Amino acid sequence: MFGARSGGEDTFDDPGAFVPAHLPEPGPFLEGSDVLTGEAHLAVHEVARDVFEERTVYDMTFGYNLARLNRDRRHPDAGFRYAEETGERNVLRAAFTPTTPFCPQTDTLTVGAFRAWNGLGDRHGYDLVRVRAAPSHHRSDAINRRLEALEVEHRETGTVADGDGGSAAVDSSG
């Protein structure tokens, strides 16, 4: 469950604390949207933790649920930032900044995050959660094109590919 292979609990911010100095800058994907801070960020991130736990979106380097990266003081410029799109659509944007520009797991982690968020649409109030890798990653363009294609498929079919060639219906009414 939320255990880390290295680093004790003193290595992590408290779960209920919003510590901007320990989070990545929002970045270009969130520009023009309402960036979540404080309690709003924490509430969305708690849902991220739950859906990542259920869908086992784990960072294998650190041995923990990917959402825990936001609380890891050893990596203050890594993790997720969120924004709600302005306008009529009910869309959340999630920008992921990996710990290094060459993180080999970024593709897997962002696709896993997209599938977790959108495959469990009944867990949050968004019609779509758009996920992108930060431009600091050396393969962000290719990874983000893949994520865009997953978005298109999700909008057209109402399903999320499960990674095994199948798909799961999505209930985004909740």
Cβ atoms of 84 and 121 closer than 8 Å: no
Structure-block tokens of residue 90: 């009910």
- Provide the 8-state DSSP code for 87: S
Q: Is residue 17 part of a domain?
A: no
Predicted pLDDT of residue 87: 80
Q: Is residue 6 part of a domain?
A: no
pTM (global) more than 0.85? yes
Q: Is residue 2 part of a domain?
A: no
| Predicted confidence pLDDT, tens digits, the chain (174 residues) | 334 444 556 899 998 999 999 999 999 999 999 999 999 999 999 999 999 999 999 999 999 999 999 999 999 999 999 999 988 779 999 999 999 999 999 999 999 999 999 998 888 989 999 999 999 999 999 999 999 999 999 999 988 876 544 444 433 332
Q: Which of 82, 66, 85 is nearest to 20 (CA)?
A: 82
- How many domains would you assign to the chain? 1
Q: Is residue 20 part of a domain?
A: no
Q: Is residue 117 part of a domain?
A: yes
Predicted pLDDT of residue 129: 96
Q: Is residue 21 part of a domain?
A: no
Residue showing tokens 């869309």: 91
Predicted pLDDT of residue 4: 41
Which residues are CB-contacts of 118 (< 8 A; sequence separation ≥ 6)? 128, 129, 154, 160, 170, 172
Predicted pLDDT of residue 163: 58
Predicted pLDDT of residue 10: 80
Structure-block tokens of residue 167: 């798909």
Q: Is residue 18 part of a domain?
A: no
Q: Is residue 126 part of a domain?
A: yes
Query: Residue 149 belongs to what domain range?
Result: 27-169
